Each structure stands twice: as C-alpha cells, then as structure tokens.
Structure 1
Amino acid sequence: MTVLDARALNRATLARQHLLERSALAVPQAVAHLCGLQAQEPQEPFTGLWSRLAAFAPAHLDDALTGRTVVRTHLMRRTVHLVTADDALAWRARHDTMLRQRVLGTYRSELAGIDVDAVGAAGRAVMADGQPRTMTELVQALEDRWPGPPRRVLGELLVAALIPMAQLPPRGLWQRTGGVRNLPLSTWLGRDVDPLPAEDGDPVGQRLLHRYLAAYGPAASADLRAWCGLAGLPAALKAARDELVVFRDERGRELLDLPDAPRPDRDTPAPVRFLPAFDNAILGYHDRSRIIDAAHLGLSVAGHRTVLVDGRVTATWTVREQQLRISPLRPLTAPEQKAVHTEAQDLATFLDASIEDIRLDTAASAPARG
C-alpha cells in the first residue's frame, strides 16, 4: 500500500483547497467545492476566498449572500459556516442530532428537565410569521414558558440546534457590522430542508464523504469526523469503500481518497498564502501535521490568522492601526521574506487602501491577536 508522507499530503490539500493556484471558480461554486468556510468571524471568509480565487472582489461574496445562493448557518461542528443554499438544505437534517447533542452536552445542568421538543415547536411557531429576530427577541417570546434557563442558553438551543436558521445580511457583508438576525432557512431560501432519506447506507453521509475527500483528501475517518462533527459516518464509509482508493500515512493510519482526485508531486512549489482565522484548511482534520507543526496547533483554534510558506503554517499576521504585521514562527530565508512581503502587499491592497505599512518581523515572536 502506498505511503504518503506529510509533504505529499500537504500538496494534495493545497491543490484541493485552491492554495497551489488560485481558481477561476465563481464564489458559489468555490464555497460548494470547499464544503463551506468557517465564518463565526464574519469578515474572515473574504480573506479565505481572496487567497483561493483569481480576481476575487468582496462584492462577489456580498452578491451571493444577498442573492441567497450562499448562506450563513450553524452546521459542521456547531460552528457558523458559510455554505451554499443547496448544501445548507441538503445537509442540515443529517447534522440535527449532532447539533442538539452538542448544545445539550455543553449546557447539561442549565437545560436539565427541559422538554426540548416543546421548546423547538414553540420557537418554530414564533418564527412562522416570517419576521427576522435576534436571539434575544426569540427568547423573550418564550421566556414566560421557560423562565429557568439563562437567556443565552435557551437562545443557543433554539438558533444553533432546534431551528435551522439563516443569519441574514448585513451580517457577513464586506466591511459591514450588524448583529445576528435569524430567519428559518426554509423561509429565507423559499425551500424546505431536505428530509433524511430512508435508504440504508446513509446516502447523505456518503455524499458528505465524497465532497469532503474532494476538498480535503486523502484523509482518515477521524479527519472526516473532526471536520463535520458527526460520529464517523460508519455506514457511509462502509457503503462507499469500494469506490475509494486507500493509502497509509507515515504513522500507519488508513487514508481514503477519490480515485481521480489531484495528488501533486510532493516537490511541487507552493506559493505564500495568507489564511484567515479558523480556516478549514487547518481545522478540517484531526491530524493537522500535514499543514501545521505540533508546537503551533493552538494558533488556529485560538483564532490567529496564519501565513503558509512552502505550504506550512510559518507565521501569523494581524492588521492594527494601518499596519499589516507578519510575525514568523521560525526565521525566514531572504527569498521567503521577499515572497511573504510581495503577497502581503497584495493583501493590504485588497483589505484596506489605508494600510500604510507592512512590517515583517525578522525573528520568531509570540503572535498577537488582531
């Protein structure tokens, strides 16, 4: 069985994430290919798409959000993701149990004794008038019936688990601020959430598996589970196994992949790329060694923006007071410094014409948030 080392896996990930070469895909098609972008920080997906798409302009994502082809919703791992409307409707029912379990597990004591189904039915009845509401407004409509749980807890149960919700624009638009206003996905998109099919073999899980491997493979079942938050999709994996090819990593883990998916040569040059906070190119795996060193694993989880040099997380970056600052995690060679600075200049132009200074630290330093 072929063994793929970390560098070979790195190049496969970069190719499928459009980080080796920027893609000409339109925004909805790119979001679909990437299986969504993590988006709890509303402005971060703009940088993620800029680093992946040729001639990307913020208006392209704004148009997709206001045109309802892309939507912000709680989905994988109970985090807010930017996904296509089609994927939100097709995937939501398969994630319902996980979303509910994660909220109930987090707030076990606060929600003890609560009739969760009754809360959900009451929340859906309130939202049936078609009016967008903040989480606070929705909870206020129900708190007389359920005065016990803290408002925040009851609100998270409703909007993150029990009712498939869209977070409406202007939330998530370019350089716009706005609180979260929620509307049921079916109301915002004009279509109902797809019901789970009754067939054996978890057909929705099989589609998730294929889509994940197209954007992240080769990958282990543990990586798939870490990406979506679902319990491993064992029925889907069993049903789809004959359609997949199998590799091993250097630790002996079994890696699954699509037969015709790109697996570039391990020595393929990789350009400098600036990633946003919580980018799924890093978070979409259980074993992230293909893209980030063990010593730096906490950076992406903590929300630091990162820089890929030769395909690996090698620096963090911030924007503060009209300065774009890059803080290397290891000393950079002169050619690497030049390549980072060149990409940073383009990023500064994209982000904000008022950025007046690009500072590249010459020695590794502790990263700062910003």
Structure 2
Amino acid sequence: MDSLVARTVSQGLAGARPVSVADSVRRVVGLQAQDVRANRLAVRARTDGLTRADVDAAVADGTVVRTWAMRGTLHMLAAEDAGWVVALLGPRFAHGLRGRRAQLGLTDDICARGADVIAEAAKTPKSRAELVDALAAEGIEIDPKTQAPAHLIGYAALTGVIRRGPDRSDDEPTYVRLEESPTLDEAKALARLAERYVVGHAPATAEDFAAWSGLPLGKARAAFTGAEPNHQDPGRVVRLVGHFDAYLLGYRDRTLAVPAAYAKRIQAGGGFVMPAVLVDGRAVATWRRARGRIEIEPFGTLPKGIEGAIDQEIADIARFLSDDRSA
C-alpha cells in the first residue's frame, strides 16, 4: 500500500471509522486542541456520524480531556491516557519554561505554592480570573494583565495538577483538577508512547516520533521500534481536515504529504497550519469557510473524479456543525 494511504488509515482518516470521540482520539494518542473549533473538526474527520455536540459532551463528561502534553501544547486525550502521558512529558516542558517564569516573577517557591492553591480551587471548574482571585486570597499576587497567570496555570497543568475544563457558554475556558490515575515508570511510559504513536501515525520514523512528542532524539530512538500495522487498502480517500490537524502536525516535516511548491500554502509562517483537502493522503488544496460556505482553493488542477467526494465532505462538515455558525 502507498505510504500516504497507509498513513491515512493509521490516523483513522480512512477505512472503518469509529463512532465515539474517545476512540478517534485514542487512535492517534492526542489531537491538537489549542483551537477548540479545529479540534472538533479533527474528531469529525476521524469518526462517522458524530456532531460537534457529541464532542462537547465527551469533554463535559470527562471521557476525553484537554490538557498540555506533546511538545507542551494543548491536546485532547482519552481520559485514561492523560495521567501517564502528562507524567512522562509535562515536567520536561515545565522545566524548559522555568526561565520565562522567572522573568515574570514566578519563582520556584511561588509556582509550588501556587499549584497547591490552584489544585484546591479547581475542585470545580474555574476561569483564569477566578484562579487569579483564589491565588490572591492566599497571598499570591500576580498581575492579570501580564502572562504570569497563563504561565502559572500552565505550570500547574504540566505538573499534573489541573487540566482544561469545559468551556463556558461564551467559549471562556475553565480549568479543573486532573483526576488521579495510575502512572508508569519512565521506561514503560516511553515504550507505550512510542508504540501508540506508531499505531496512529505509521509509516513514521524515530525522528518523527521525537518531533511529535517533543522528546530528545536519543530517548525517542531508544523507545522507537518502528513496527508498523498491516492495513487493508481503503480505496480512494478524500478527506477535508481542519486547522492544525494531526495528519499535518504529527511528523518531523510535511514533505511526504505536501508538494514542496505548495508548502507555504499550508503554512505561510509561524505555527498556523491551514485546513487541507487530502486525496489519498496528499494535500491538493486548502479550504476555508466564508459566509457559511466552504471554498476550495486548489493547488493547480484537482485530480479527476473527486468532485463528488469533496461535495460529500463539505456536506458532512455542515451536518457535523449543524447549528454552529461560528465554527
């Protein structure tokens, strides 16, 4: 099977797709979640028949959780994976941000005490402003107009104290205590993470695993086995994936999936990754929603015979979003 098609199957973008949010997330370990709307669409592309309300319900009932994990960035993970993944990766990224916290006046002592206060306050979902108030009530004053609150909350999350909670009706994020769960020693956790990565991303390399996870290359190579699953050929695959999709962020680079001439159409600069139209795993266009309609912007001439499949994907996105006019 072609490498790109095999990747689409590994990623859950082709072949039989699950009908639960948790199964779609578990397949790739985690889905990027800084942008809630894009996160929902990543689930849509990997499931069959769900709606945005189903994704929000899975977050609300704790079946899946959003927390800081791979590369120290916000991801959605299945609830049973959050504890051991954060325990493995979080402290590394928390340590890496120590210098920036110091610049903001967040000493190690303040961070330790602040994390305890945040954990107590976050027994029920709290907004950032509410956590700042809880800190102030315990004598820890931080300026809400600076990045200090975000960094202290990030420290608490990366050290396994809290996670993102359900968004409020105005899309304001909340934070809630991370439920305790069994953790693994580092060697077992590394082996499990590498195995799970391969299942959801193959074909891939140890270098891809390191770039995706944020682990040092030496640790990634030691844990990586490269054993790839066998997949049945799914036939032609046309899928519309949203911003920051794991298919375009889960590897060291995108050269296999994105023609070099169009790389800047997918990522013009910074970390902003555009929605893409994938045909048999290769990006052939970008897409965007404008005035409630999806507009396709091809990279030259589209492959023949895919118009109907693109129309089906557009219709499925509309079905998935249903009454959501802002997503």
TM-score, scaled to structure 1: 0.75
Q: Which has the higher helix share?
A: 2
Q: Distance in 2 between matches of 1:219 and 1:354?
A: 36
| 1:81-230 pair list within 5 angstroms | 81-104=75-98, 107=100, 110-111=103-104, 114-129=106-121, 130-142=123-135, 151-163=145-157, 164=160, 165-170=162-167, 177-186=170-179, 192-195=180-183, 197=185, 202-230=187-215
Alpha-carbon contact 1:100-1:157 (below 8 Å) kept: no
Determine the C-alpha separation between the residues in 1 that align with 2:175 and 2:101: 24
Q: Classify the secondary structure of the residue corresponding to 1:316.
A: strand
- Matched residues, number: 317
Name the structure 2 match of 1:272.
Answer: 238
Deviation at 1:166, TM superposition (A): 1.9
Q: Point out where structure 2 has 5 or more consecutive residues left out of the alignment.
A: none
**How far has the Cα of 1:194 moved from its partner?**
4.0
Secondary structure in structure 2 of the residue aligned to 1:82: strand
Cα distance in 1 for partners of 2:319, 2:19 equals 22
Q: How does 1:1-370 map to 2 (within 5 A)?
A: 8-104=2-98, 107=100, 110-111=103-104, 114-129=106-121, 130-142=123-135, 151-163=145-157, 164=160, 165-170=162-167, 177-186=170-179, 192-195=180-183, 197=185, 202-232=187-217, 234=219, 237-238=221-222, 244=225, 256-258=226-228, 261-262=229-230, 269-298=235-264, 299-300=266-267, 301-352=271-322
Shift of 1:123: 2.9
Q: Which amino acid aligns with 1:329?
A: F
The Cα shift of 1:133 comes to 2.5
8 Å CA contact retained: 2:101, 2:148:
no
Distance 2:109 2:300 in 1: 52
Provide the C-alpha distance between the structure 2 equivalents of 1:25 and 1:290, rounded to a whole number of angstroms: 29
- Quote the offset at 1:89 in angstroms: 1.0
SS of 2:54 mapped into structure 1: helix
Given the superposition, is the C-alpha separation of residues 353 and 329 from structure 1 closer, same or farther in structure 2, using an over 3 Å criterion?
A: farther
Contact 1:10 1:291 in 2 (8 A): yes
Q: What stretches of structure 1 of length at least 5 have no aligned partner?
A: 1-6, 187-191, 245-255, 356-369
Where 1:318 maps in the other structure, the secondary structure is strand
Q: Evaluate the alpha carbon distance shift between residue 196 and residue 120 of structure 1 in structure 2; reply closer, same or farther with a 3 A threshold.
A: farther
Which has the higher Rg, Structure 1 or Structure 2? 1
Q: Any conservation in 2 of the 1:139–1:154 contact (CA below 8 Å)?
A: no
CA RMSD of aligned residues (A): 2.9
Q: Could you say if the C-alpha distance between residues 111 and 312 of structure 1 is closer, same or farther in structure 2, counting changes exceeding 3 Å?
A: same
Distance 1:150 1:295 in 2: 44
**Aligned partners of 2:150, 2:51: CA distance in 1, in Å?**
33
Query: Any idea what the Cα deviations from partners look like across 1:119-175, whole Å, max 9, x if unmatched?
Result: 23233224314243222333344469666877543223222233432221135xxxx
Q: Deviations for 1:155-199, whole angstroms, at most 9, x for unmatched residues? A: 23222233432221135xxxx64211111213xxxxx254552xx
Q: Alpha-carbon deviations, 1:32-83, whole Å to 9, x = none?
A: 1121111111122322222222222334323321221111111111221111
Structure 2 CA distance for partners of 1:294 and 1:145, relative to 1, 3 Å:
farther
Structure 1 CA distance for aligned equivalents of residues 306 and 319 of structure 2: 20
Taking a change above 3 Å as real, the CA distance of residues 332 and 98 of structure 1, as seen in their structure-2 partners, is same
Q: Percent identity?
A: 27
